[in-house]
Chains A and B, each alone.
Chain A
């Protein structure tokens, strides 16, 4: 169910040309709070720990993504949720 909703939101935003704005907003927020650098460091650690061989992309994804999700500060997450909701309501108000 949640997956469907997510797809729906993506679709609606894309139609209204709001998707780019939203993704840009989220990116800037995350970079500001330093989340991106933290994730990068964790990645590099994960890669360099295995001295002999470099792990594959799949391995990295499997190890790094849960870490990345947890690294997002709660305040930033809440802010972003609020903003997204308000954007969606606005889109709905001013119609298609």
Chain B
């Protein structure tokens, strides 16, 4: 059965092919047929357009549009695309700090920045206050501000103390070290000083303990006592870092 079907199909196809070929080869016939084909396609398209528009008019979708157009002419032109009236009627508040007109919705964050309560605007606010206080007022009216100034002072002094003490501490901890280490300790100081500014006393105590432990293993008790005395001198004299390094070794070598 299938074989016979296949044969039939083939025969049909071959017939069709012949027919088509004849049609195509005959030029005049081809032209007319193609033209009529094209006309048919165009008619189909027009039908589609007609159906579409006719349906729209029947369902009166266009009429509604026209009515809306008439309605819009009466209204005034202050309406949003969502048919909302102007919302920009928010009251503006006057900032007591900078005397600026600020929107009510943005008032709180503005105050935070303006008065220095926030994180990022901390410095800006303190600068402003510092400049204003130096120029006009001695007594600032805002309670939170003087404490900020004090914090600034602590930070600045703490940095200096920390740097010097750290340098001394690092050098003392590495007893009998090469000058290279002194070079290494200096960049460490610059990075560490800012961090450990407030722990000056604690760090010095730690250094002392470290020095005791380090000195006991490699050097003699004599040298350790000498290094301790030299450390005390180093603490008092902040600038003589390199010389202090050499002094324990020289003292040791002398003895």
Contact = CB atoms under 8 A, between A and B. Distances in A.
Interface residues of B, number: 35
B39 interface: yes
Contacts of B54: 47, 54, 57, 60
A8 B23 contact: yes
Contacts of B21: 92
Interface in A9-29: 9-12, 15, 22-23, 26-27
Contacts of A91: 20
Nearest to A82: B34
Contacts of B49: 36, 39-40, 43, 64, 68
A78 to B, nearest CB: 10
Interface residues of A, number: 41
Interface string B34-55: 1111111111111101110110
A5 B29 contact: yes
B112 to A, nearest CB: 58
B31 A6 contact: no
Interface of B: 13, 16-17, 19-21, 23-25, 29-47, 49-51, 53-54, 57-58
